[in-house]
Amino acid sequence: MDTYDYDLAVIGSGPAGQKGAIAAAKLGKHVVIVDRQEMTGGVCLQTGTIPSKTVREAILYLSGFRQRTFYGKDYVVSERISARDLAHRVQAVVGRELEVIRNQLRRNGVATLPGTVRFVDPHTLEVTSATNTTTRLTAEHVLIACGTRAARSPDIPLDGVRIFDADQLPNVPELPRDLIVVGAGVIGLEYASMLTALDIKVTIIDQRPTLLDFVDRELIEGLCYHMRRRGATLRLGETVASVGIDARGRVEAVLESGKRVHGHALLYAVGRQANSDLLDLGAAGLQADSRGRIVVNECFQTAVPHIYAAGDVIGFPSLAASSAEQGRLASAHMFGAPRKPVAPELLPYGIYSVPEISMVGRTEQQLTDARIPYEVGVAKYEELAKGQILGDETGMLKLLFDPDSLLLLGAHAIGEGATELIHIGQAVLALGGTIEYFRDTVFNYPTLAEAYKVAALAGINRL
Ligand SMILES: Cc1cc2nc3c(=O)[nH]c(=O)nc-3n(C[C@H](O)[C@H](O)[C@H](O)COP(=O)(O)OP(=O)(O)OC[C@H]3O[C@@H](n4cnc5c(N)ncnc54)[C@H](O)[C@@H]3O)c2cc1C
Ligand SMILES: NC(=O)c1ccc[n+]([C@@H]2O[C@H](COP(=O)([O-])OP(=O)(O)OC[C@H]3O[C@@H](n4cnc5c(N)ncnc54)[C@H](O)[C@@H]3O)[C@@H](O)[C@H]2O)c1
């Protein structure tokens, strides 16, 4: 029998790596997790999810945005909002979360090793520290949870100051007066919409003619309406060929159509590239696709059965909570613990644009394509006392349901609290419930949750 230093070595300390490591440790396994010191917590904590959501909260607070329904569109809490003000809150939140993660790993006896990993053979990893010293370790199982970095291009001269990607954005020294956003994916739209709340003029460019095709069209129309009202320009169906600084010192994006778009700064957000190229996958008998993604089976095993992969490195859905769950399920399979994977159709989406959007289940488009008849029930926030209290008169919840059985098929929300609200719909969907549940339930008053009852009644009345 071979003996290994560890039962499990985890590459990457983002949500997938953390939860994979802790799940294995809970099963009594000897686990090590390796990551670069400054990246503990992964993209999720250091540069992605947590910083962007904290910046959003800071902007909404300091700009007085949520209060403007009552006190006028010029109402602000802080007259001059700087990049430092935003960074201050990010540092506080990241610092506290980092402690939580470190304590969890420590409490569960997970060893942590700072450095960058590469495979030497399928069971041996070499870890290179920040000071270039190398250590080797062996493990019976490996979990690759190396995540992604912002995709870059030689035609886009990033400087981290005026031309930056999402990984650099939390550290930009100055907020721009106007901003070009290349890429209207989730990252581009989240940052673009939150910056419009600071009255920064944003021009969003995307090669696709439509935005976020997996989201309900009415919700996307709502988002575009709000962004345009705050001065955003959407240039869809246009591809950015190159970026530079023009003779007047302005950032210039040259489009394939020959047009030139100018701005004070530019955010390049055209997707993500997995970090598997750093791993010497060939030494483990593995390979990745052109975006660095690794193929796994339904148990998260790669082509080499004792090597698993989870999180953004395996592609869809590339969300923090899904990544964490994949890491946990991978370890459960590795060590024979019970596992019950969530059905993909029950995965929620939360898009932290301003206003925020969330969804679970199927969209009208998907139901139409699948020739599944459905009826719609809508609740507008303006009909809800809580909507009035919060000053959100434009939010809405839309329920899609089977007109015969009344089974819930999908829930879609835009507005304050949408990402929280959606979990009520998710629970009913998961339990195979009908919208009669919402009709017959008594909700706290005043709440946004009451939207479910209003939407269910509206839907039933339409039958
Ligand atoms: C701007 C932005 C906003 C986002 N917002 C949201 C959101 O609101 N909600 C949501 O659900 N998701 C969001 N995401 C996506 C979310 O961050 C990811 O789905 C999640 O972080 C993926 O987790 P992971 O464990 O796969 O990898 P990551 O969090 O990417 O962590 C991977 C880790 O592996 C390490 N690593 C890589 N290679 C090596 C190596 N060779 N050796 C050692 N360590 C290595 C890296 O340093 C990194 O720390 C956002 C992403 C971005 C970029
Ligand atoms: N709230 C959330 O859940 C959340 C938030 C942020 C990020 N994320 C995750 O991060 C992932 C990556 O997000 P993303 O927005 O970077 O990627 P994306 O792939 O979703 O979007 C990139 C966009 O850039 C466009 N594009 C590419 N090249 C272009 C060019 N040269 N000119 C113009 N447009 C161009 C593409 O058409 C696409 O619409 C998401 O898929 C998601 O999984 C999730």
Q: What is the DSSP code string of 156-186?
A: S---SSSEEETTTGGG-SS--SEEEEE--SH
Distance CA 107, CA 163 (A): 41
Distant-in-sequence, close-in-space partners of 4: CB < 8 Å, separation ≥ 6? 123, 138, 139, 140
Tokens representing residue 206 in the block: 């995307």
Tokens representing residue 243 in the block: 């970026």
Q: Kindly write down the DSSP assignment for every residue of 332-400, as one continuous string.
A: HHHTT----PPPGGG--EEE-SSS-EEEEE--HHHHHHTT---EEEEEEGGGSHHHHHHT--S-EEEEE
Which pLDDT belongs to residue 307?
A: 98
Does the bond joining 122 to the residue before it have cis omega, within 30 degrees of 0? no
Topology of domain 6-150+273-344, CATH:
FAD/NAD(P)-binding domain (3.50.50)
Which pLDDT belongs to residue 462?
A: 96
Q: What is the pLDDT of residues 346-376, one digit of tens each?
A: 999 999 999 999 999 999 999 999 999 999 9
pLDDT at residue 2 greater than cutoff 80: no
Q: At what angle do helices 49-62 and 83-107 cross, to 10 degrees?
A: 140
CA of 126 to the centre of ligand 1 (A): 22
Which pLDDT belongs to residue 74?
A: 82
**Nearest CA residue ID for atom 21, ligand 2:** 185
Lowest mean pLDDT across 17-26, 74-83, 207-216: 74-83
Binding residues are 53, 183-190, 271, 312
CA of 206 to the centre of ligand 2 (A): 10
CA of 74 to the centre of ligand 1 (A): 37
Q: What is the pLDDT of residues 85-131, one digit of tens each?
A: 999 999 999 999 999 999 999 999 999 999 999 999 999 999 999 99
Distance CA 196, CA 177 (A): 10
Mean residue pLDDT of the chain comes to 96
CATH homologous superfamily, domain 355-462: FAD/NAD-linked reductase, C-terminal dimerisation domain (3.30.390.30)
* Local structure of 266: helix, strand or coil: strand
pLDDT band at 1 (very low <50, low <70, confident <90, very high): low
Binding residues for FAD are 53, 312
Distant-in-sequence, close-in-space partners of 91: CB < 8 Å, separation ≥ 6? none
pLDDT at residue 236 greater than cutoff 90: yes
**Nearest CA residue ID for atom 16, ligand 2:** 271
CA of 313 to the centre of ligand 1 (A): 9
Which pLDDT belongs to residue 353?
A: 98
Tokens representing residue 157 in the block: 């001269």
CA of 148 to the centre of ligand 1 (A): 6
The dihedral through the CA atoms of 61, 66, 70, 71 has a sign that is positive
Distance CA 455, CA 236 (A): 33
> Which ligand minimizes its atom distance to the CA of 321?
1
The dihedral through the CA atoms of 322, 325, 330, 333 has a sign that is negative
Residues near ligand 2 with C-beta < 6 Å? 182-188, 190, 205-208, 239-240, 269-272, 318-319, 350-352
CA of 188 to the centre of ligand 2 (A): 6
**Which residue(s) pair with 307 in the sheet?**
142
Binding residues for NAD(+) are 183-190, 271
Residue corresponding to tokens 């062996």: 138
| 163-270 and 355-462 agree in CATH topology | no
Which pLDDT belongs to residue 452?
A: 98
Residues near ligand 1 with C-beta < 6 Å? 11-17, 34-36, 39, 42-44, 48-49, 52-53, 116-117, 145-148, 166, 187, 275, 278-279, 311-313, 318-321, 323, 352
Distant-in-sequence, close-in-space partners of 236: CB < 8 Å, separation ≥ 6? 184, 206, 208, 209, 210, 211
CA of 270 to the centre of ligand 2 (A): 5
- Would you kindly state where each structural domain of the chain is located, as residue ranges? 6-150+273-344, 163-270, 355-462
Residue in 56, 211, 270, 349 to alter for ligand 2 test, most ligand atoms within 8 A of Cβ: 270
Which pLDDT belongs to residue 405?
A: 98
- Which candidate, 142, 148, 143, 144, places its Cα nearest to that of 318? 148
- Which candidate, 403, 402, 404, 395, places its Cα nearest to that of 454? 395
Distance CA 301, CA 314 (A): 11
**Which residue(s) pair with 142 in the sheet?**
9, 307
pLDDT band at 73 (very low <50, low <70, confident <90, very high): confident
From the number of C-beta atoms within 10 Å of its C-beta (0-12, 13-18, 19+), residue 260 rates as: exposed
Average pLDDT over residues 259-264: 97
- Which candidate, 125, 272, 122, 132, places its Cα nearest to that of 188? 272
Distant-in-sequence, close-in-space partners of 331: CB < 8 Å, separation ≥ 6? 8, 19, 20, 21, 23, 24, 27, 29, 143, 308, 337
Distant-in-sequence, close-in-space partners of 368: CB < 8 Å, separation ≥ 6? none
CA of 187 to the centre of ligand 2 (A): 6
> Which ligand minimizes its atom distance to the CA of 210?
2
**Nearest CA residue ID for atom 15, ligand 2:** 185
CA of 129 to the centre of ligand 1 (A): 20
* Nearest ligand 1 atom to alpha carbon 351: 8
Residue in 52, 156, 206 to alter for ligand 2 test, most ligand atoms within 8 A of Cβ: 206
Q: What is the pLDDT of residues 144-175, one digit of tens each?
A: 999 999 999 999 999 999 999 999 998 999 99
**Nearest CA residue ID for atom 25, ligand 2:** 183
pLDDT band at 17 (very low <50, low <70, confident <90, very high): very high
Which pLDDT belongs to residue 349?
A: 97
* Nearest ligand 2 atom to alpha carbon 205: 33
Give 211's DSSP letter.
S
On whether the CB atoms of residues 334 and 8 are closer than 8 A, the answer is yes
The dihedral through the CA atoms of 244, 250, 255, 260 has a sign that is negative
Distant-in-sequence, close-in-space partners of 187: CB < 8 Å, separation ≥ 6? 52, 166, 269
CA of 94 to the centre of ligand 1 (A): 14
Q: What is the pLDDT of residues 421-455, one digit of tens each?
A: 999 999 999 999 999 999 999 999 999 999 999 99
Residue in 49, 98, 312 to alter for ligand 1 test, most ligand atoms within 8 A of Cβ: 49
Which pLDDT belongs to residue 11?
A: 98
> Which ligand minimizes its atom distance to the CA of 149?
1
pLDDT at residue 77 greater than cutoff 90: no
Topology of domain 163-270, CATH:
FAD/NAD(P)-binding domain (3.50.50)
Task: Give me the helices (H) in 47-150, please.
Answer: 49-62, 68-71, 83-107
- Which candidate, 306, 21, 317, 323, places its Cα nearest to that of 147? 323
> Which ligand minimizes its atom distance to the CA of 147?
1
Q: What is the pLDDT of residues 24-45, one digit of tens each?
A: 999 999 999 999 999 999 999 9
pLDDT band at 80 (very low <50, low <70, confident <90, very high): confident
